[in-house]
Amino acid sequence: MNALPRAKTASFDVDPQYAFTPECPNELPVSGGTEIVPALNHQAQFAAIRVGSKDSHSPQAIWIANQDTPMFSPVEGDNVDIAWNAHAIPGTKGFELIKGLPDPADYDFFVWKGIELDMHPYGACYHDLKDKLSTGVIEFLKVKAIENVIVGGLATDYCVKTTALQLKRAGFHVIVNLQACRGIAPDTIEAAIQEMQAAEIVIIQNTAELEG
Ligand code: VGL
């Protein structure tokens, strides 16, 4: 990969929260989830701007799995698709960023998403599933004249993939750093990588590839 001009490059930490790590086994644990921190901090050194996102869900959200509606069963609604275990609830450990990352206030821009009870977005660029309700991060990156976005976080096959595709559609050159990501399941990770590559997103295996 050719080295990216730092002044025109942003680094995006997508949902690097304990909810998606083995430390929260009742939420959505992703194997190795806590291991991404050094790679996220390293990739940020190649960027002038660092942005991040957190899932921020209510325990009353309509998509929360229960005995009648187990995980992955369909949920009716315009901005929900399937049931998920309760996760990333403010005030709980699952909501917190993994140790070793900056505080949200120390990022250049930060997104809290999934607050509405009837919306479960995956991408960090829109609050809904129709890419209508902007979280403002695309506008922020454009105002800062950013052209390239390096993406990492949790999980590769859901929120990282969707965020990367949204950024690509918004006109950025998007690089997904697999060393800074972990995913939920091998088949959905592989499908996500193929979908991203088909959209001309650049996939790198290691942060060192950013050196060019
Ligand atoms: C995520 C599934 C459900 C993610 C969030 O952050 O990738 N995946 N909610």
**Global pTM?**
0.98
Give the pLDDT confidence of 40-72 residue by residue, as tens digits. 999 999 999 999 999 999 999 999 999 999 999
What single letter denotes the amino acid at residue 58?
S
Determine the pLDDT at residue 97.
98
Q: Is the CB of 84 under 6 A from ligand 1?
A: yes
How far apart CA 180 and CA 35 sit, in angstroms, is 8
Domains by residue range for the chain, with CATH? 6-211 (3.40.50.850)
Spacing, Cα 7 to ligand 1 middle (Å): 30
Determine the pLDDT at residue 164.
98
Q: What ipTM was assigned to the predicted interfaces of this complex?
A: 0.94
**Ligand 1 atom nearest residue 158's Cα:** 7
Determine the pLDDT at residue 149.
98
Which DSSP string corresponds to 82-118?
A: B-B-----TTSGGGSBPTTSPPGGGSSEEEEE--STT
Stated length of the chain? 212
How far apart CA 126 and CA 163 sit, in angstroms, is 9
Spacing, Cα 120 to ligand 1 middle (Å): 9
